[in-house]
Amino acid sequence: MIYQNSLSFAIAQDNDDLLKDFRNQFLIPKHKGKDVIYLCGNSLGLQPKSAAQYIADQMNTWQNLAVEGWFQGDDPWLEYHKSLSASISKIVGARENEVSVMNSLTVNLHLLMVSFYKPNSKRFKIIMEGGAFPSDQYAMESQVKFHGFDPKDAIIEVFPREGELTLRTEDIVQTINNHAAELALVLFSGINYYTGQFFDLEAITQAAHKAGAYAGFDLAHAAGNVPLKLHEWGADFACWCSYKYMNSGPGGISGIFVHEKHFTDNQMNRFAGWWGYRADKRFLMAPGFDPAIGADGWQVSTSPILLLALFKASMAIFDAAGGIDALRKKSVALTAFFEFLINEINKGQAEDIFRIITPANPDIRGCQLSVVCGQNAKAIFKYLADNGVIGDWREPDVIRLSAVPLYNTFQDVYHAAKHLADALVAVK
């Protein structure tokens, strides 16, 4: 597509957008009486208008059926989580029984590491990307210490080459190969939260397996953002939050993936709970844990129905929009237009004021653009907020801006870029 730096071009693109009506299904915050330009879906997605009704439906069930709501009504709570499986499995590229919804992201990461990080005196190392989100770092540090190892010895971080900002797949694979004899687990983000780089999860999985290690992924910034094929790629496990690109509300429920090849492994460790027991015999209350076949066997605690209801509201919108592939097509065009507009701002400057550190190749990024501000960074971020552009700040000088295809428009992106250009004059 040949982009043009004009409002008329943005309007024309919005008029031709097959997904344009889905914006109306979300509640958009106001700034001085007008809709904000909300470019922070990488941190918290907007609220679906239907969310309140989905919650109200379950409140009515609680009111009218009380405990019988677990077994009666339109959506009995006992199986309520399963009503999300079909939608979620399509988003992450899994079979329905390979996904489940439960807990929060870091809790699930710990629970999955119980199963897939099984160090011994020979194999105890974990490889992760340098600069991963702190929760992942803390989880791995604590898991390593729990097993009696020193994180300095056990955790191998892969950093970009000198002078580069993102990782090369060949460097990740080479690091895996270099530590193959001592490697227990490779655990990467799907998309790095800071740079917005989408890693080659298939290549990482293949390298991990060749080395005799498991491959797992934190998909917080990838699920609902980019197409995934976890089953096909052979990933062993993954987990994600749902409150970013999947709009399930602050602190929304998390999800997990476990590849079906592990379902019959009776030697696999796990922290068990009653909710993960096989459903057909759960109410016999027998001693000895007999897990449900599938990812549901990793569940521990009772499903939080109200959180699931919020997630279900958003998943209904995803399904109506045609799923992740339809959203991805718009996302690629929208993000590329934003990139073009930011680069246009730089053309009038002696040097690039706004430097995009997210990869230019659309195959290795999602919605997010991470922009380094060459001058007055914090003041520029404040100027955007004061003018109704909601992005995300990361120290020391990065503004993260994500145009989400379900509710952002080409006009949003055009006006956001204009405010960026205006900020160069306004904050001098």
For range 281-300, the mean pLDDT: 95
For residue 359, whether the previous peptide bond is cis, meaning omega lies within 30 degrees of 0, is no
Task: State phi, psi for 70 to the nearest 5 degrees.
Answer: -65, -25
Pairing mode of beta strands 354-356, 368-373: antiparallel
Percent with pLDDT over 70 in the chain: 100
The pLDDT confidence band at residue 257, using thresholds 50, 70 and 90, is very high
Q: What angle do CA 341, 347, 351 make, to 5 degrees?
A: 120
pLDDT tens per residue across span 305-346: 999 999 999 999 999 999 999 999 999 999 999 999 999 999
For range 252-259, the mean pLDDT: 98
* One fold for 7-35+323-426 and 54-319: no
Mean pLDDT score across all residues of the chain: 97
CATH of 7-35+323-426, one of 3.40.50.300, 3.90.1150.10, 3.30.110.30, 3.40.190.10: 3.90.1150.10
Which pLDDT score, from 0 to 100, does residue 102 have?
A: 97
Which pLDDT score, from 0 to 100, does residue 266 have?
A: 85
Q: Which two tokens stand for residue 193?
A: 């939260």
pLDDT tens per residue across span 141-154: 999 999 999 999 99
pLDDT at 267 over 90: no
pLDDT at 428 over 80: no
Which pLDDT score, from 0 to 100, does residue 349 have?
A: 77
The pTM score is 0.96
In CATH, the architecture of 54-319 is: 3-Layer(aba) Sandwich (3.40)
pLDDT tens per residue across span 349-393: 778 899 999 999 999 999 999 999 999 999 999 999 999 999 999
Which pLDDT score, from 0 to 100, does residue 236 have?
A: 98
pLDDT at 286 over 90: yes
Alpha-carbon distance 302 to 221, whole Å? 26
Residue given tokens 């995803």 in the structure block: 318
The pLDDT confidence band at residue 134, using thresholds 50, 70 and 90, is very high
Q: Which two tokens stand for residue 239?
A: 């987990």
Residue boundaries of the structural domains of the chain: 7-35+323-426, 54-319
The pLDDT confidence band at residue 75, using thresholds 50, 70 and 90, is very high
Which pLDDT score, from 0 to 100, does residue 1 have?
A: 82
Alpha-carbon distance 257 to 89, whole Å? 9
Q: List, in sequence order, the alpha helices (H) in 69-168.
A: 85-92, 105-116, 134-146, 151-154
pLDDT tens per residue across span 87-118: 999 999 999 999 999 999 999 999 999 999 99
pLDDT tens per residue across span 168-204: 999 999 999 999 999 999 999 999 999 999 999 999 9
pLDDT tens per residue across span 39-63: 999 999 999 999 999 999 999 999 9
pLDDT tens per residue across span 203-238: 999 999 999 999 999 999 999 999 999 999 999 999
pLDDT at 348 over 80: no
